[in-house]
Structure 1
Amino acid sequence: MNYINIDFQVNNNIAFVTLSRPEKHNAIDMTTFNELNHVIKRIDKDTSIRAVIVSGKGEDFCSGIDVKSLFKSPQKAIRLLLKCLPGHSNNAQKVSTGWRKLAVPVIFAIQGRCWGAGMQIAFGGDFRIATPDASMSIMEAKWGLIPDMGGTLALRELVRLDIAKELAMTAKIISGEEALNLGLLTKVSPDPLQAATKLANDISQFSPDSVSACKKLYNKSWWGSARSALARETLYQIKVLFGKNYKIKSYNQTHDKTKQKPFKARMKW
C-alpha cells in the first residue's frame, strides 16, 4: 500500500514509520489516522521485523490534530470515537494503543512540537527519545476537551497522579529536559533518530522471542497481581525455551563470530 501522510520502510529488520506532512507540522487528519492504523496492522503481521522507530519529518514531530481538516466532516470525526465495546480501542485510540500491542519494541524519536494528539501517539511507544529543547504538551484542555486517544494507559505508568492531572488540566508546555525529569521520556539526545536507531540495533542483537516475551510480560504484569506476574514468567519462559531462537542464541554463544547463525522470525504470541 502506498501511503499519503506517512512514509514506511524496513531496513535491516527495523521498521521506520515517519509522519510525512511537514508543511502541516505533521498534524493528524483522518488520512493519517487511517494510515497509522493500517501500518500498525502491517507491522504486526510481519514477524521478521525486530523493532519499530516512529519519527516526524521536518521541524516538528506532530503539532496535534488538524482541527480544520478533521471537522470539515463531523460524521467522520464522530466515527473515530465509535467502538463496539466500551473497553476496546476506537480508531482514535488505536494510533496509541496499537503500538503497545505490537510484539516488538517501538521507539519514538521526537523533535520540535509534540502536542496533543502527537503526545498521545508517542505515549504508545515503549521508549521515547527527544531533543532537550523539544516542546511537549497534553494540549487537549486548550480546546475544552480531555485526552481521549489512549495515552492514559501509558501516562499512569510514567508519572504521579498529581503530575498527570496538572499536565492534562493546564495544557502546560514543557521541554524535553523537563519531560525527562518527570519520567515521560526515556532519554534526551541532540539527534533522537540516531539514538533511536542505535537502541533498535542494540535490541536486535538479542532473540526476538525473548524481546517480545519481555514486552508482553511487563505490559501485562506491571499493574497486575503478583500471582498473575509469577504465572506469566513461568509460562512465557517455557515457550521461549522451546522456541527456535533460544537454540540459535545458545549455539551462537558457544561459537565464534564467523559461525553465527541468524535468528528466525519471532514466534507468535
Structure 2
Amino acid sequence: MSLKYVAFEVKDQIAFVTLNRPEKFNALNFQMFLDICEAQRQIRRDSSIRAVILTGAGGNFSSGLDVKSVMKQPMQAVRLLFKWLPGNANLAQRVSIGWQRLPVPVIAVLEGHCYGGGMQIALGADMRYASPGSDFSIMEAKWGLVPDMAGLAMLRSILPRDKALELTLTAEILSAQQAAEYGLITRVYEQPGAEALAMADRIRQTSPDAAAAIKHSTHRSWLAGVRSLLARESWYQIRLLAGRNSKIAARRQTKDPDKAWSQRQSW
C-alpha cells in the first residue's frame, strides 16, 4: 500500500516515519490516519527494525485534526470512531496506542506545533524529544470535545491526575520548557532529530528481544497490580533466556563485542 501523507523509510535498522502534509502543518485528514496505521503495520511485520523515529515535515509535528476536511465527509468521522467492541481501539485511537503496541522503541521528534491530535500521536511514542521553539497543547476542549485518540493511556502514566486535568480542561498552549516541567515531553534539545538518532543507535547495540520485552513489560505493567507485574517479568525472562539473543548477549560481553544479533522473536 502506498502512503500519501506519511513518508516511510527504513535505514540501518531504524524506521523513519514522517507526517507529510507540511502545507497544512501536518493536520490530520482521514487518509493520514490510514497511512499512519499502515506504517505501523509495516514496522510490526519487519523484524529487522530496531527503533522508530517519528517526526513531522516542514518544521511542525502536527497542528491536530483537520476538522474541516473530515467534516466535509461525515462517513469519514464515522469510520474514524467506529469499533466492533467498546474496549477495542478504533482508527482514531490506533494512531496513538499503535506505537505502544510495537515491539520496538518509538522516539518522537517534536518541532513547531504539536496540538490536539498531534499531541495524542506524540503521547503514543515511548520518548518525546522536542526543540526549544516547539509548543504543545491537549486542545480538544477548545473544540468542545474530549481527547479520544488514546493519548490518555500514556498521559495517565506520566502526569499526576490534577496536572492532566489542568491541561485537558483548559487547552492551554505550553512552551517546550513548560511541557518538560510538566513531564509531557522527555527532553528539550537544540537538535532533537540528531539526539533521537543517537538514542536509536544506542538501542541498536542491545538485544532486540530484550528491547521488545522491556517495552511490553513496562507498558503492560506500569499501572498493573504487583502480582501481574511479577508474573509478566518472570515469563518474559524465561522467554529471553531460552532465545538465541540471550546467548549472543553473553558472548558480546565476554568474547566478541561485534557479534551480530539474531532476528527478533515474535512478541
Q: Could you state the TM-score of these two structures normalised by the residue count of structure 2?
A: 0.98
Q: Output aligned runs, 1:29-68, within 5 Å.
A: 29-68=29-68
**Alignment partner, residue 10 of structure 1:** 10
Alpha-carbon distance between aligned partners in 2 of 1:81 and 1:51, rounded to the nearest angstrom:
29
Which secondary structure does the structure 2 equivalent of 1:55 belong to? Answer: strand
**Alignment partner, residue 259 of structure 2:** 261
User: Match of 1:61, as an amino acid?
Assistant: F
Q: Output aligned runs, 1:1-269, within 5 Å.
A: 1-257=1-257, 260-269=258-267
User: Match of 2:109, as an amino acid?
Assistant: A
User: Match of 1:253, as an amino acid?
Assistant: Q
Alpha-carbon distance between aligned partners in 1 of 2:141 and 2:220, rounded to the nearest angstrom:
30
Which secondary structure does the structure 2 equivalent of 1:129 belong to? Answer: strand
Matched positions, count: 267
- Structure 1 residue runs of 4 or more that deviate by more than 6 Å after TM superposition: none
Q: CA deviation at 1:167?
A: 0.6
Alpha-carbon distance between aligned partners in 2 of 1:167 and 1:253, rounded to the nearest angstrom:
45
Q: CA deviation at 1:256?
A: 4.5
RMSD: 0.9
Which secondary structure does the structure 2 equivalent of 1:264 belong to? Answer: coil
User: Match of 1:109, as an amino acid?
Assistant: V
Alpha-carbon distance between aligned partners in 2 of 1:238 and 1:172, rounded to the nearest angstrom:
46
CA contact (8 A) 1:133 1:177 kept: no
Alpha-carbon distance between aligned partners in 1 of 2:147 and 2:220, rounded to the nearest angstrom:
23
User: Match of 2:263, as an amino acid?
Assistant: A
Which secondary structure does the structure 2 equivalent of 1:53 belong to? Answer: strand
Alpha-carbon distance between aligned partners in 1 of 2:256 and 2:231, rounded to the nearest angstrom:
36
Alpha-carbon distance between aligned partners in 2 of 1:267 and 1:224, rounded to the nearest angstrom:
24
1:56-102 Cα deviation digits (max 9, x unpaired) = 01121101111111111011111110101101100000000100100
Alpha-carbon distance between aligned partners in 2 of 1:225 and 1:144, rounded to the nearest angstrom:
35
User: Match of 2:124, as an amino acid?
Assistant: G
Q: Could you state the TM-score of these two structures normalised by the residue count of structure 1?
A: 0.97
Alpha-carbon distance between aligned partners in 1 of 2:226 and 2:87, rounded to the nearest angstrom:
23
Which secondary structure does the structure 2 equivalent of 1:54 belong to? Answer: strand
Structure 1: segments with no counterpart, 5+ residues: none
Which secondary structure does the structure 1 equivalent of 2:58 belong to? Answer: coil
Structure 2: segments with no counterpart, 5+ residues: none
User: Match of 1:173, as an amino acid?
Assistant: I
1:181-237 Cα deviation digits (max 9, x unpaired) = 111111111111111111111111000001110011111111111111111111110
Which secondary structure does the structure 2 equivalent of 1:71 belong to? Answer: helix
